[in-house]
Structures are given as C-alpha cells and as structure tokens.
Amino acid sequence: MLQLSNFPFNTLKSAPKVSDNRSTSLLLQGGYIRQAMAGAYEFLPIWFRVLRNIEQVIREEMDNAGYHEMLMTILTPREYWETTGRWDIPEYFKVPGHGTTEYRIAPTNEENVTPILWEFIQSYKDLPCCVYHIQKKFRNEKRAKSGLLRGREFIMKDAYSFHTDIKDFEVFYEDIKDVYMRVFTRLWLGDDTVIADADGGAISDKNSHEFQTFLEVGEDIIVQDSSWYSYNLELASWIPDDKNVWEETQKMQYIDSVPEIVNMEKMTKYFKSPDWQMLKTVIYKLENSDAYIWVVLRGDLDINEIKLWKFVRWKYDDTFVLASEEDLEKIWTVRGFISPLKDSHLKVDFYWDNSLKTVKNFFWWANALAKSTKNVNISDLNIIEFGDFNEPKAWFTSCNVEWEKLTFRKASEVGNIFHLWTKYSKPFGLSYLDENNKMVQDVEMWCYGIGVSRLMGVMAEYFMTDSWIMWPETVAPYSYYIIVMWEDTIKQAKDLASELEKSGESVILDDRMGRKDGFGQKAGDCELWGIPNRIVISPKTLELWGYELTKRGQESEIIKL
Amino acid sequence: MLQLSNFPFNTLKSAPKVSDNRSTSLLLQGGYIRQAMAGAYEFLPIWFRVLRNIEQVIREEMDNAGYHEMLMTILTPREYWETTGRWDIPEYFKVPGHGTTEYRIAPTNEENVTPILWEFIQSYKDLPCCVYHIQKKFRNEKRAKSGLLRGREFIMKDAYSFHTDIKDFEVFYEDIKDVYMRVFTRLWLGDDTVIADADGGAISDKNSHEFQTFLEVGEDIIVQDSSWYSYNLELASWIPDDKNVWEETQKMQYIDSVPEIVNMEKMTKYFKSPDWQMLKTVIYKLENSDAYIWVVLRGDLDINEIKLWKFVRWKYDDTFVLASEEDLEKIWTVRGFISPLKDSHLKVDFYWDNSLKTVKNFFWWANALAKSTKNVNISDLNIIEFGDFNEPKAWFTSCNVEWEKLTFRKASEVGNIFHLWTKYSKPFGLSYLDENNKMVQDVEMWCYGIGVSRLMGVMAEYFMTDSWIMWPETVAPYSYYIIVMWEDTIKQAKDLASELEKSGESVILDDRMGRKDGFGQKAGDCELWGIPNRIVISPKTLELWGYELTKRGQESEIIKL
C-alpha cells in the first residue's frame, strides 16, 4: 500500500507547458516523469508501476506463445557492428573504453542475438525459434522530441525469430500477429489499433508490418480501403492517374533546347507543357560497388526511397546513395541533362516508375548539353522493370483509385514486424543442418518490436482528458485510491486497504492531513493518476457506517464497513 | 511450460575452462550465460528466470518496507557529474553525442536521484524518504574478471535515503538492515551472511556496513570476534602490540647518518635496530588545494588509505593523492629524509597512527640530507591527532588482542550501506523547511547497494557442487522438471505439467526424443539447472500407473496418475 503521507512525489498544481506534447505536460504535472535531459526521462514511482504493468502484459502473451525471454547486453563489442557493417551509423552511440577500444551501447540487438543463436542453433529441428528481451536502447538523436515518443534512451521489447524459409515464417507469423493484437487488446487499444502494411502492398514482401494506433496527434497517416486493408500513407501505392493516354503516339525526335533549362520548372516553361509530361531521372550509386541505380518517373512525382529500397534490396546486398557529380561524370551523363547513358563499362540498372504508363509523348533530355528529345514513349525505351517508387502526393485525390472510399486517419506506431532477410545471419555465418544432414547457410530472420516507453506515451495521449489519464484497469498504477478525510479514521482506512490487498488489489492510501490536503486535491490526484476505483472515508460516510465507493463510470455507492 | 523439444539453449557435454572462476564455467556449460565480451554477459533464458526470481525477492522486501521503486536514466548529462566533481573519474564511461556534447552511462545514480528529490523534497515531513531502482550500471574496468563478480556491465539494486540528521537515519537503519537480512535469508544465504563493519570499528562513523557472504573463493576476509561482531580484515583496527614500552625514555638527539639510507631496510641495517623503531612518514596533497596531510606511523606498518580517508574526510571537502617530488620541495622536505617541515606558509596537518603509542625511543630523519634523530618520543612531538591508519598484517596474530578468539573467513560482498554525508545533497542544493519553516541545507544521504548480477554469481558459487547448482526453491528457474522417456506419454506429461502450472508451479517438460536424449542427459540437465523437483514418466512408472517424483533431498516416490 502506498501511503501518501510519506510519498514525496507530489503532483503539481498546474501542468508545465511542453511545446510539442500535450500528454508529456500532464505526466510532468502528475509526478509521473521528470526529464533528465532532452530524450531521457526519469520514471518516477507511479509511472514505473504503469511500465511494469504494461511489460507484464507483453511478457505473459509472449511467454504463453512459447517465445523465450532473455536479457542481452547493452554494452556491445565493436566487432559485432563491424561484422554487419553498421559500426559507423551516426545515430548509434560509440563509447570509448581504455586505449583505442570502443564499445557501442546497443540501439537494437540483432548484433547480439545472431552470434548467440549461432552457438545454439544446430539443426532444422531448432527452427523456428523466437527469443525476446525487454530493455533500454539508445540512439544518438540529433534532436530528441515528443516526450516519450522518440528519445535518446527508450525501452524496447525486441523479439527475433529464425526460420528455415519464408514458408516456415508464414505459419509462425499468424501466431505472433495474434500475440501482438492480444497485447494491444489487453491494453484497451485493440479497437483502434490496426496492422498496416509497412511496404505499400504492391511490392512483393508481405512480411513486414506496422501496428498503428489511431491517435489525433499521431505522426503517421494510415489509409484503409473498404476491406479494411490498412497501410501507411507514406508507403502507399496507387494506380497512377491517366493523363493523356488517349493521345496519338508520336514519333520520337531530337530537338534543340537551351543550356539553362536544368530543372523541371524551367523545362515546363520552355516547352510550354505540363510537368507530368517530362521524364524525371534520378541516379543512385550502390555504396560498396561501382554499380548504379537509374530511376525514371513522371516529372510531377518524387521518388520515395523506402519504396525503392524495398524493391531493389532483393538484388543488391548493399545500400545506395544519391550519385555525386563525379559519379555522373563516370557514367557519362550531365546533371540537369541526365538521360540514359551512351555507353559504359559500369553496371547500371534501370527502374521505371508505374506512373510512366499513364502518359504519352514525353519530353526528355538527350544526355548532352542543350539537347532534348520529345515524343518519347514507353515503346522507345529499353524497359527493364516497372515498379512503384513514387511518393504519394496530396493531390493524388484526383487519382482513379476510388479515393472517396478510402479513410485517412492519423496514427502512432506502437509495434512492428520486419523481415530482416539474411542481413544478419549471413555475416555471422548462422547455419543449420537440414533433414539430409546438409549445412544450410541462409537462416531467415524477422524482428518484432514494441517500443514500450513509446507505447506508454501513446497510451497517455490516447487515454487522457484535460486532467485525467483514464488508465485501463490492466495498467493503472494502483486499482484503488482511498481518500481519508479525518485523521481518526486512518486506522479503518488502513484495515480496508489491507483487506483489498489481500484480495489482490493494489491500493493508494491518501492519508495526507496537511492544511492544503483537502478533498479537491485528493480527488484530483486520484484522477490524474487514473485510478479506476475511488473510496472516500469521511465523517459523512461514517455517519452511514460505511465508505463511499466510486467505480469509474458508475454511480457512487455506500458500502458498510 | 518450457518444452525442451523447442528450446535451442542446450547444455554442453562438459564445462568450458574459465581461468578465474569455477562457477562461470558451470554456468557456461548449463547454457545459463554467454560472454558478449570481457565483463559483459548475455543472460540466456534459464539465467534470466533466476535473475527475475532474485529481483522479485528484493522488490517485495523493499516495497513492504515502504521504499519507492522507480527507474532512473542510464544516459545522464555531463552537468550532473560536473556538479559533484565526478566527471573525470576514469572508471566511468563518457559517451560522445553530437558536436561536443558528452553523456555518461551511469555507474551509480547519486547524480540522478539527488536532483530528482531536489524537486520533490520540500519539508521535514517528506523525510526520511527512500527510493530505489534495479537497473544495469556500467564501469570502464581496466581488466574485467571473475565472471559475474566484477563486470563492465552489471545489474544493481541501488537505494538512496534522505534524512534530516544522523539520528533520523539511525531509526531508519534498523529497518533497512532487517530488509537486507530478510532478502538474504529468503535467498538461503542468511546463515552465512554477516553485517560487517565497513569502517573498522574504531573510527566514529558506525553508519556504513557491508553484507558479506562466507564463500571459499571470496575476495574479502571477514574477522569475527567472540561477540560475533564482524568486520572486513582490510579495514580492521587493532590495539597495537606493545614493542618496547617498558624501556626508559631517552633524551632526543640529532645524529649524523649517510645519504644512502633512503628506505626503511637500509635504515634498520645502518642503525642496527628493528624497523618498528623507525618512524615512517607519508605525505599526501589535497587534490584541489595547497594543503597537505602528513601521516606518521611505525616503520613496520603501512598506511591503509581507506582508513585515512574515512578519518580525514570530515575536515576536507576534497580527496588526496600522494605528494609529488615538487610538492615535497614546496614544503621544504626531502624524499627519503622526510620529517616535519622547518617552516612553511602552506597548510600541513599531521596525523599520528595509534601504533606510535606502543614504542619508545624512535629513530627519525631530520629533514636534511644525511641527518637523523634518535630517541624520539611522543612527548617530543607536537601531536595533533592520533588515529588508526595502519594496514593490518598477517603477523598481527602476535598483537595483544585476543586473536585466538577471532575467526577469519573468506567472504564475498553481496550488499552494502554507505553514508554519503552531504557529498551529493550539498552541490545540488538539496534543502527542506524545518518545523520552524526555516530552510535547512544539509540533507544527510545514505545509499544501499545489492549487486544483483554479482549476487547471482556468488549464489552460483555458493550453491554449486561438481555438476549441480542447488538453487534454493525461491530462485530456481523452474520448480518442476518432467522427464518423458516415451513419446506415447507426452500427452500425459503435458496434462500433468498444466495441472502443476495451475497450482502455481513452473515446469520444464523434457520432451526431447532424439537419439542422444537418454535418461542420463535429461537427469543431468535437471541437476545442472538446479530444479528442486524431478518427475519421471517412463514405461516403468506407467506399469505402476503413475510417475516417479523425486523432491530434492528426499526419497523418490511413485504418485498415481
């Protein structure tokens, strides 16, 4: 039982102003948290109990499903990160040790879990297998913001599963998806949490998802179609709107232009044609080889690099960056006048955005200063692969998808499932013996995150009113709040509290008897801490030989003592 | 229920050799832990359950006593450490952020808890108050060793209490001492764990203690007298043995010596007298001022700097280091011929070890090259303060304390209580209003540690045999281990396991049916994981319509199914 007379973590009279987050300000007022520095919060006792309750829900559901909880290290050796090529990521902290030794405080634990399982996975019989832990993680955020939603230090439940192949995963996936939804349901978020496709549907990897909770202040926009299929707007794919497909196909021809028209705006003015009729070209270089990715799309659209990455990572075991001036020289093209290269010994792969299918008679550069082409058509191009690489735009509402049947809602990500492919198992040499006793090298991995401290922030936001946080009973810091209004009744109140505790309830006993500790203060704290059941023992209730019990959302009643 | 057929963390056939720690090797064999790097261990699922059980015992006892659990940050701002002057301690990690920003991953949390409580402690009514958390800590150890006993990353339960004065603490102390002893009793360490004085008894601060568990491989030596008063040998104080106190006191005189006798050995040879008759002098400089500490003791003894520190920290708000050659020049003395300074404008405080009281007619230097004094006696000295600064020696057995009545046992520290004085409350300006509404600045602080991962290591060592770890029932990873010897009985075994779980037990179901999974393997794993209750279901037990139950330390019995 928590006796408030001996509890220093008082609530404040009013909510401190916090610019970017309404719930953070309420949490500060409630003595839930205290900021140690931007992006790192102290969890004070009341908040810590909410944390433990949420962790317990997650733990129970994970354990029931047969996943194994463990605890990996925070301090990790540099070699792990060099093995996977992730040592130099600037958002990950490097920690100097003695001499030239450096460690990393882990932002995620693929680099721990893979070498651990390398020691233990021996045969196909050990697969599938899923382990998890709940622990703090660290990211060197340039600007930490939004209270608990994006911190330098945060608590994460990260699970990792290992599979012989994608089919093996697909069976397993149904289980863990259910586990996640049961968790969110027990946290009373179930009705407003959807599984959103994290890769835009059209692309073939159906094995990565986000769990998104609808929230007015959410940072994502979730699109749902009439069948309730959900996806993140940022990654959504569309059937592109037809522009001039009814026009006659003209014959392609070279034309003179001027050196000044080095961007889309100048080009549309010069040719007196709409931007969607221009071809836009963007060139990326693979980071660790001399190969290039050449993406072409409609001039009114931009590239969404996440979509592109998801499309091409099948082919390259590498990441890409925007090509530099020197890179462009290497492949004999000119910035502002990029078009397919004349000739080269370098490897260049072309990707054509689906939007090109909806326009005829394009304008294009000619890969030479002050030269252009007009009436380019798909048939003129040496098409390799179409795909969906464009960034959805607000004016896509005019697309020919049945937009009016879609719903758009703001949401916050509370969990995710990512296909890691063999990105970690390969460099660590994770292998197993198959049924024929043959060594197999490629262990498919997935990871499953729930940002626990982030989830707490989302829940505070979701369950808050102006002065309450209506915690679900499953996570409320205590289940009962006993208000004592008269010093002489503290003994009765304590007995009642002990009785409630014996029956498994947790109790705050508000036995503060100072001058300022009036009923208003006490009832206010009960609300601010979101305690679902309130009991008042006062001279008035004692006249009726009892106490007043108010269960949240119900009428008060007098219970005989 | 843990089904071993789907559990990759198998035990190994034999224990890997680990040079400095026998239990670590058994823990590696048992798939309990895996080393990520020197000083940082992965806690695999079985070990994680032991951890959670131990944490739960600690938590329950702390909560019952009314201490408030919270969770402070790991990443802490540099300013906190600069406030207390601890930023540059080399054993503490510094973590570079963006630009010139640096953080610290906390090795302990005085620097968090004090500014937190600064916000909440307002009046004397808020005191005493005690908060705690259980979390990983980090130390930049030069050489991490001894498995879990001294790591770069370790789990600590650290509590902090705040008091108006030492009297307030003394009442409180009885409670928390009981809490600690209840914890160790519930962990079955109670009979072999003692509260040892951490400051040598003779010195006046009786408010710091160590909890030491007797252990053959322990790194400390605990001395107990006939009244069971215990103390750490390293910090023990003695009534010094009389040497020549019966001799006549001679008159002090200056004598010539030679420049070569710059150490004790040469001096004893030159004067043909025992080393205990020489005066030894050691000079320390305060780190942040030009003040000096000048300690004199018997020539056969060495200084124990911890004792010295505990004696002098009352006076100086500063730490000290051995004086350098230049320092010695400043105070006009000569290394090898140190004796009280001639004259100086510098502040020099003298401290005289109690051992000087037991000898007469000392030899001493004369603070000049090749000059000495003989027949120095206490009456010749300008005594300021006597104290106990000497390091206990093995041959102290000849002292006139009743040594034969003392017992000496090796032990490992499992907990401690330290008086922090106002070392942290002062720089952070922690204050409160007293009963007269007057601001009081000096809040006395204590801290209370239990190194949880260290305790786990000590327990593994304490409860291990050659191939078992006999976990107490309170911390065993599971309470039942069911050995299934016949595939057809897996259903019966599962039903039994479910039944046990319903009654609150935790169960390992060893349903492995591979060729190597014979009874020996299974029974061995049950022992290695220290499961207190073993059940065997085999064709043999089924002939008797039952299963065989073996409770640890008891005869097996057949229970009807």
Residue A398 in this model has a pLDDT that exceeds 60: no
Would you state the torsion angle of the CA atoms of residues A323, A325, A328, A330, taken in this order, to the nearest 10 degrees? -110
The residue in chain B having the minimum alpha-carbon distance to the alpha carbon of residue A139 is: B97
* Residue A477: DSSP 8-state: S
Q: What is the mean pLDDT of residues B130-141?
A: 96
The span from the CA of B334 to the CA of B297, in Å, is 18
Instruction: Choose the closest CB to A74 out of B48, B72, B136.
Output: B136
CA distance A266 to chain B (A): 39
Position A110 scores a pLDDT of 96
**Interface contact flag, B45 A93, Cβ < 8 Å:** no
Q: What are phi and psi of A553, to 5 degrees?
A: 80, 5
Mean pLDDT of chain A: 86
**Nearest Cα residue to A120 out of B241, B42, B508:** B42
**Nearest Cα residue to A254 out of A157, A329, A365:** A365
**Interface contact flag, B8 A152, Cβ < 8 Å:** no
CA distance B161 to chain A (A): 12
**Interface contact flag, A37 B76, Cβ < 8 Å:** yes
The residue in chain B having the minimum alpha-carbon distance to the alpha carbon of residue A79 is: B37
CA distance A249 to chain B (A): 55
Position B187 scores a pLDDT of 97
The residue in chain A having the minimum alpha-carbon distance to the alpha carbon of residue B71 is: A43
Q: Mind listing the domains of chain A with CATH numbers?
A: 2-6+478-560 (3.40.50.800), 48-69+111-237+408-461 (3.30.930.10), 253-392 (3.90.960.10)
- Residues of chain B neighbouring A514 (CB-CB closer than 8 A): 125
- Residues of chain B neighbouring A92 (CB-CB closer than 8 A): none
Instruction: Choose the closest CB to B120 out of A8, A37, A98.
Output: A8
**Interface contact flag, B95 A105, Cβ < 8 Å:** yes
CA distance B184 to chain A (A): 23
Return the percent helix, strand and coil in chain B, to nearest 5: 30, 30, 40
**Nearest Cα residue to A434 out of A121, A130, A166:** A121
Position B384 confidence tier, pLDDT thresholds 50, 70, 90: low
**Interface contact flag, B42 A71, Cβ < 8 Å:** yes
The residue in chain A having the minimum alpha-carbon distance to the alpha carbon of residue B113 is: A42
List of residues 6+ apart from B395 with CB closer than 8 A: none
Instruction: Choose the closest CB to B73 out of A3, A41, A116.
Output: A41
**Interface contact flag, A116 B34, Cβ < 8 Å:** yes
Q: Which of A1, A28, A44 best probes binding to B when mutated, by most B CB atoms within 10 angstroms?
A: A44
Give the 3-state secondary structure of residue B212.
Answer: strand
A125: which 2 tokens? 């019989």
Residue B314 in this model has a pLDDT that exceeds 70: no
Residue B338 in this model has a pLDDT that exceeds 60: no
- Residues of chain B neighbouring A48 (CB-CB closer than 8 A): 69-71, 133
Question: pLDDT tens across B199-254, in order?
Answer: 544 333 567 789 999 998 888 888 887 667 787 777 666 666 778 888 899 988 88
Give the 3-state secondary structure of residue B296.
Answer: strand
- Residues of chain B neighbouring A133 (CB-CB closer than 8 A): 48
The residue in chain A having the minimum alpha-carbon distance to the alpha carbon of residue B70 is: A45
* β-pair type (A546-551, B230-232): unpaired
The residue in chain A having the minimum alpha-carbon distance to the alpha carbon of residue B3 is: A66
Position B342 scores a pLDDT of 40
Residue A397 in this model has a pLDDT that exceeds 50: no
Position A244 scores a pLDDT of 87
**Interface contact flag, B36 A8, Cβ < 8 Å:** no
Instruction: Choose the closest CB to A42 out of B7, B116, B122.
Output: B116
- Residues of chain B neighbouring A96 (CB-CB closer than 8 A): 93-94, 96
**Interface contact flag, A74 B153, Cβ < 8 Å:** yes
Q: What is the mean pLDDT of residues B89-93?
A: 90
User: Beta-carbon neighbour count of residue B3 at 10 Å?
Assistant: 18
**Interface contact flag, B76 A136, Cβ < 8 Å:** no
Position B148 scores a pLDDT of 82
* β-pair type (B347-353, B320-322): unpaired
Give the 3-state secondary structure of residue B492.
Answer: helix
**Interface contact flag, A97 B93, Cβ < 8 Å:** yes
In sequence order, what E strands does B128-205 have? 129-138, 153-163, 193-197
- Residues of chain B neighbouring A120 (CB-CB closer than 8 A): 8-10, 31
**Nearest Cα residue to A231 out of A461, A413, A402:** A413
Position A114 confidence tier, pLDDT thresholds 50, 70, 90: very high
A453's enclosing H/E stretch is: helix A452-463
The span from the CA of A154 to the CA of A36, in Å, is 13
* CA end-to-end span of chain A: 19
The span from the CA of A544 to the CA of B61, in Å, is 38
**One-letter amino acid for residue A385 of the chain:** E
Percent of chain A with pLDDT over 90: 50
Contact A273, A243 (CB under 8 A): no
ipTM of the complex: 0.81
Question: pLDDT tens across A498-520, in order?
Answer: 999 999 999 999 999 988 889 99
- Burial of B174-213, coded b for 16+ CB within 10 Å and e otherwise, reads eebeebbbbbbebbbbeeebbbbbbbbbbbebebbbbbbb
C-alpha B219, offset from chain centre? 10
The residue in chain B having the minimum alpha-carbon distance to the alpha carbon of residue A77 is: B37
3-state secondary structure B326-360: HHHHHCCCCCCCCCCCCCCCCEEEEEEEHHHHHCC
Q: How far is CA A294 from CA A278, A351, A386, in A?
A: 16, 6, 12
Question: pLDDT tens across B15-50, in order?
Answer: 787 766 788 889 999 999 999 998 999 999 999 999
Q: What is the mean pLDDT of residues A252-274?
A: 80
Give the 3-state secondary structure of residue A370.
Answer: coil
Q: What is the mean pLDDT of residues A210-231?
A: 83
Q: What is the mean pLDDT of residues B171-194?
A: 95
Q: What is the DSSP string of B37-67?
A: ETTEEEE-HHHHHHHHHHHHHHHHHHHHTTP
Contact B46, B31 (CB under 8 A): yes
- Residues of chain A neighbouring B509 (CB-CB closer than 8 A): none
List of residues 6+ apart from A499 with CB closer than 8 A: none
**One-letter amino acid for residue A484 of the chain:** V
- Residues of chain A neighbouring B70 (CB-CB closer than 8 A): 42-45, 47-48
Give the 3-state secondary structure of residue A11.
Answer: coil
A374: which 2 tokens? 């007009």
Radius of gyration, alpha carbons of chain A: 30
* Strand ranges across the sheet with B362-365: B253-256, B371-376, B362-365
Residue B337 in this model has a pLDDT that exceeds 60: no
Question: pLDDT tens across B399-409, in order?
Answer: 445 556 678 88
Position A67 scores a pLDDT of 97
**Interface contact flag, A45 B131, Cβ < 8 Å:** yes
The residue in chain B having the minimum alpha-carbon distance to the alpha carbon of residue A92 is: B97
**Nearest Cα residue to B112 out of B424, B492, B518:** B424
List of residues 6+ apart from B179 with CB closer than 8 A: B61, B62, B64, B65, B67
- Residues of chain B neighbouring A34 (CB-CB closer than 8 A): 116, 119
The span from the CA of B491 to the CA of B507, in Å, is 15
**Interface contact flag, B97 A34, Cβ < 8 Å:** no
The residue in chain A having the minimum alpha-carbon distance to the alpha carbon of residue B47 is: A70
**Interface contact flag, B93 A94, Cβ < 8 Å:** no
3-state secondary structure A34-46: EEEECCEEEECHH
Position A48 scores a pLDDT of 98
**Interface contact flag, B48 A37, Cβ < 8 Å:** no
Residue A246 in this model has a pLDDT that exceeds 90: no
Q: How far is CA B556 from CA A232, A401, B426, B541, in A?
A: 61, 73, 63, 12
Instruction: Choose the closest CB to B140 out of A97, A116, A119.
Output: A97
